[in-house]
Amino acid sequence: MRKLFIFCILCLASVFGTGCREDTAKKTTIRVNFPVDPQTLDPRKGRDITSSCVHNMLYEGLTRLTPTSTSDLGLAEHIEISEDKRTYTFHIRDVVWSDGHPVVAEDFAYAWKSMLHPDFPCPNVNLLYGIKNAEKAKRGEVPLSDVGIRTDGPKKFIVELEAPIPYFLEITAFCVFYPVPYHIASVNEEWPDKDISTVVSCGPYLMTKWSHWDEMVMEKSPNYWDQANVNHDIVRMSFIENQNTAFQMYERGDLDMMGTAFTTLPLDAIPSLKTRGILESFNVAATTFCTFNTSTEPFQNTHIRKAFALAIDRRDLVDNITQLNEEPGTALIPAVLRNGERKEFFKDASTDEAVAHLEKGLAELEMTREDLSIRLLYSMNDVNHKIAQELQQQWYRVLGVHIELQNCERTIFLDNLQRAEYDMALAFLHAQYNDQMNILERFKRKSNPKNYCNWENEQYVSFLNQAMNAATEDERMAYMESAERVLLDEMPITPVYHWSTTFVKQPYVENIAFSPLGAVHLPSIKVHK
């Protein structure tokens, strides 16, 4: 299976390197901008891109992302896998936290088990459910001591799975699986977010400054184990929400890079950047989609959901709004997770079908078009706003239904989604590991914090369970495709388009390598200025 590449989002840490301390004048610095502050420095609680990027600078997992692998060795220097592929034994390197305390197996065990406590807020806890008794522990059905996570001395960490998971090592590279310092976190659960002096790291960087909504500064850690393969001394991150303001900074030379991994480029700048020949664009495993709140009218009705889904002209959106040759979302799984193969589970812009479904749905609900009062919720930025406006026009033109637009700040947006306080919303998802299951499992149970549509289907669950226990990879893929068909027939969400990641860089930023999937790999960047 081809490697999933999400370095621009999840592997920012390695860009900026680490090494011995030098005089300030000799230090290399990279300047980037993010639209928002990280919501948390605790890798167990992250749910936004900025936080994930910061986590990847401060911490490292048992495995990590590299230019050629999504599961290279990280803080584990050796991994043993049992013959039945259910038990993994990780041997931890002789490394230390930035305060000099050794990194031990208990740092991982404590971090992982704490997320499985029924009261612990972990948006990505479902990623741990392949571990023996993990989901039962989260539901409070068994004690944490029954979970398949244990230590054998300070340097041996053992994990037992419910069943073999072919992508398990790739999951452990994601930031939710990072360790936390047991010697600090067990005493003070708010250790990373209340006082910068209590933030310790085991990754490439140390945090030296955080002025909220202004700037964060990272400096290379002298304790990081792989200093030879990272290149920069200082990372300066500004936090400016307005894309146009950030782009002006880039044009003035005040930012070294700008794009999807940091702050997205203004849509109005795309044609000029293409003409100048400086825009880089690569397909990645991320998708913008509409999610319908299936727990309330009118989207309890499948026909109404399908009407809005089929009325969208996705090709028009990517050609005239986003302009980056994205893949129209006529399948839930993007091509980069299908070894480049594109699938079409429904026809784009099926206007006649859309109208027919709307009329069936209205008849079942005993409603008219005039009875529909629907708001489209989205987080405010240039791209989302223009997409929302275009969707509003398309739905009115095809269905004769006026949709009210409602935008809000990103944190409020996510809170509304998780509380199901919306009608329909324009959202997005990023793959966190190299397997289609990462997308499909989000909609398996209503209890998943990222199952915003509040949808559950037992046939869908059955296909995913059969995929987990499939005897061959072909059989597993067939079950997952069957599950995808069920979801897209029910249409609790509808994909709009699969992303291309884009960026621009200053001329003095050189030596950019590319991943096996063709996306930019940041660790080899060199700066000459």
Residue (of 498, 497, 491) closest to 337 by Cα position:
498
Calpha distance 249→337 (Å, rounded): 35
Which residues make Cβ contacts (< 8 Å) with residue 395, sequence separation at least 6? 308, 311, 312, 401, 403
Burial of 377 (C-beta count, 10 Å sphere; 0-12/13-18/19+) = buried
Which of the 8 DSSP states describes residue 319? I
Report the amino acid identity of residue 28.
T
The rounded radius of gyration (Å) of the Cα atoms in the chain is 23
DSSP-derived secondary structure for 459-509:
HHHHHHHHHHT-SSHHHHHHHHHHHHHHHHHH-SEEEEEEEEEEEEE-TTE
Domains and CATH numbers, the chain: 7-237+506-527 (3.40.190.10), 283-501 (3.10.105.10)
| Torsion angle defined by CA atoms of residues 97, 103, 109 and 111, in that order, rounded to the nearest 10 degrees | 10
Q: What are 169's two structure tokens?
A: 């090592």
Report the amino acid identity of residue 357.
H
On the CB side of 435, how many CA atoms lie within 13 Å of its CA? 22
Q: Is the separation of the CB atoms in 484 and 332 below 8 Å?
A: yes
Residuewise pLDDT in 10s, the chain (529 residues): 444 333 343 343 333 333 333 444 578 888 999 999 999 999 999 888 889 889 988 999 999 877 666 778 999 999 999 999 999 999 999 999 999 999 999 999 999 999 999 999 998 999 999 999 999 999 999 999 999 999 999 999 999 999 999 999 989 998 999 999 999 999 988 888 877 788 999 999 999 999 989 999 999 899 999 988 878 888 899 999 999 999 999 999 999 999 887 888 999 999 999 999 999 888 888 999 999 999 999 999 999 999 999 999 999 999 999 998 899 999 999 998 998 889 999 999 999 999 999 999 999 999 999 999 999 999 988 889 999 999 999 999 999 999 999 999 988 999 999 999 999 999 999 888 888 999 999 999 998 888 999 999 999 999 999 998 898 999 999 999 999 999 999 999 999 999 988 889 999 887 665 554 444 445 456 677 6
Q: Over the range 79-110, which residues count as b (16 or more CB within 10 Å of their CB) and which as e?
A: beeeeeebebbbbbbebbbbeeeebbbbbbbb
